[in-house]
Structure 1
Amino acid sequence: MGQRIRLTLILLMLALSVTGCHFENGRAQSDGRYSMEPVEEMAGDLSVVAIFAHPDDETWISGTLAKLSDHGVKVFPVYATSGDAGSDHSGQNLSGKALAAAREREAVEASRVLGLMPPIFLRLPDGKLKLYQEKLRNMLSGIIRQLEPSVLMTFVEGGITGNNDHRAISGLVTESFSLNLIYFAISKTKANQLSTTANEFGIDYLVEKPIENGAISLRVDVSDYADKRVKAMAEYTTQFPVKVMNAFGKYVETVSIEELVIVKNNSVINVLLCYLESDKC
């Protein structure tokens, strides 16, 4: 009982109105220009911290996260960087800090669409996570101590796209926080389906690091979350031009699963898997 009360108090401290929070001095902090708002005590004992490299990375697993949220699981997205080294496809010509701020706002809105907790932004340099491994490890350790999540989720080895930051996140989390860890991945079959759909819209896209079909532990039916998946991705106007959004919309119509890899089952992970496989848990 004491642990549940402590977790509830932590969640009350973290509840944010508009943005999310950033990580500073060992704790998640509200951005000063936005207000903190109290929330009612939340039902359910399970929580997930989903660790990403950049805002929009949750698109790979957005239906699964929304499904967990619908079952009362508290899902906390954590972004190691805010994507300051990326490109702006919105026509605003944003770069650096301005682009990072825009991508954080987009991540907040995407999280709202999916029913997730306000995101936590670590604001490490985009593209350079390999150089900040110790700092990232310490920041994630602080978040895990603070939130006491039931399960961690992150990229499978290779980071799906082969992006260096994705791979750095996957390697660090695997090495340092392997207890109750679930990976999100994409199989070779699903990667081919994605490439085929992209090609139909004139987009040359190849998933660099798909995994063997047999390595997938669970294929999550997210057919009921197609609209949320598209709406959440559409919040990222700096990242996804109309053509890409149209391709993704077609893709989620034809591919209604997301894929997970589970290294070791236990009672906590089995409950989450039950939520993802059945409505009877």
Structure 2
Amino acid sequence: MNEPHSIAVIVAHPDDDAYGCAGSIALHEHDPGFRFVLVLATDGAAGQISAGVPATPETLGAWRRVESANAWRAHGTIPVRHEWLGYDDGHVPEVGFEELVQRVHAILLQERPQVVATFGPDGITGHRDHIAIGRATDEAFRRARQVPGPGLRRLVHGAIRASVFERWNTVRRRTGVEAWDPNLEYHLRPVPDEAIDIEVDTSAVSWRVVAGLLEHRSQRDVLMEPVNTRRWQRVVSREPSVLAWPPRGAGEPVLTDLFEGL
């Protein structure tokens, strides 16, 4: 008998989870026994505060925890486990690596999800927290796989295609907006198109991904400027990622679903 589909999304901040696999989660929510676990290293308390949002630097963390819950309600698939590791925003690399690994490892052994999704070494934006939690998750996954049991079949890293990155930058330059510079922290970092191992067509549920994004009101000026829901739907209509484990064999086709073949 096949295992029920399950996924653990392990990221740094509220809203990191909104990109990369929210569409895939919507596509699989009615699979028998489907289980979605969300792990956030921080509550994003050091983030920006968009105009009109009555949060302060002292209350932003609590505000963003509520936004995170609201976002998944708006999306329509609520995590069965929504875990906060409680680290300070912007300071995850200062946490002992072994501590981070052990925290994530314990969750992976308790849940044993089929798919684990996190950041790759580029952190997508080069954010130090992204890189730190992604690196710790990779190691936790490796160790958890050594313990016999179900699940832990696939480790994926969210990614941006280089061709898409260049298209976005062309538009930014044409419209007078600063181009993304992958050498700078907080700027997008693409991967070569040929490194993409999975690309999911999420156009049928892109409106649900956007509905979730819109609930991150405190970060709307950072998520996309200016807010344009139609453009957002186009952006989230594809979810590319890199297979960190197991590697895709030479000549094997790009997968079209996070759970394809499992």
Q: Map of 1:52-131 to 2, 5 A cutoff?
A: 52-61=11-20, 62-72=22-32, 73-92=34-53, 94-114=55-75, 115-117=77-79, 118-131=81-94
- Kindly provide the amino acid, as one letter, of the partner of residue 59 in structure 1: A
Q: Structure 1 or 2: larger helix share?
A: 1
SS in 1 for 2:217: coil
Is the contact between residue 220 and residue 276 of structure 1 (CA under 8 Å) also seen in structure 2?
Answer: yes
Listed one character per residue, the Cα deviations across residues 210-264 of structure 1 (whole Å, up to 9, x for unaligned) are 1000000011101101211111100000000497363453143366211011133
Aligned: 1:253 with 2:234: yes
TM-score (normalizing by structure 1): 0.72
Is the contact between residue 8 and residue 39 of structure 2 (CA under 8 Å) also seen in structure 1?
Answer: yes
Cα 1:74/1:243, change in 2 over 3 Å: closer
Shift in Å at residue 70 of structure 1? 4.1
Shift in Å at residue 105 of structure 1? 0.7
Cα 1:274/1:187, change in 2 over 3 Å: closer
TM-score (normalizing by structure 2): 0.76
**Paired position in structure 2 for 1:36:** none
Cα 1:212/1:138, change in 2 over 3 Å: same
Q: Map of 1:180-191 to 2, 5 A cutoff?
A: 180-191=154-165
**Paired position in structure 1 for 2:202:** 222
Aligned length: 232
- Kindly provide the amino acid, as one letter, of the partner of residue 237 in structure 1: R
CA distance in 2, matches of 1:172, 1:255: 26
Is the contact between residue 87 and residue 95 of structure 1 (CA under 8 Å) also seen in structure 2?
Answer: no
Q: 1:192 aligns with which of 154, 166, 174?
A: 166
CA distance in 2, matches of 1:213, 1:94: 40
213-222 or 203-212, which deviates more:
203-212
Choose between structure 1 and 2 for higher RCO, CA contacts under 8 A separated by at least 6 residues. Answer: 2
- Kindly provide the amino acid, as one letter, of the partner of residue 219 in structure 1: E
Is the contact between residue 160 and residue 209 of structure 1 (CA under 8 Å) also seen in structure 2?
Answer: yes
Listed one character per residue, the Cα deviations across residues 26-65 of structure 1 (whole Å, up to 9, x for unaligned) are xxxxxxxxxxxxxxxxxx7221110010000012212123
Unaligned regions of 5+ residues in structure 2, if any?
Answer: 146-153, 181-186, 248-254
Is the contact between residue 197 and residue 251 of structure 1 (CA under 8 Å) also seen in structure 2?
Answer: no
Is the contact between residue 186 and residue 210 of structure 1 (CA under 8 Å) also seen in structure 2?
Answer: yes
Cα 1:137/1:221, change in 2 over 3 Å: same
Aligned-residue CA RMSD in angstroms?
3.0
CA distance in 2, matches of 1:264, 1:122: 24
**Paired position in structure 2 for 1:34:** none
- Kindly provide the amino acid, as one letter, of the partner of residue 206 in structure 2: A
CA distance in 2, matches of 1:251, 1:196: 17
Unaligned regions of 5+ residues in structure 1, if any?
Answer: 2-43, 267-272
Is the contact between residue 111 and residue 119 of structure 1 (CA under 8 Å) also seen in structure 2?
Answer: no
Shift in Å at residue 160 of structure 1? 0.6
- Kindly provide the amino acid, as one letter, of the partner of residue 75 in structure 1: F
189-198 or 163-172, which deviates more:
189-198
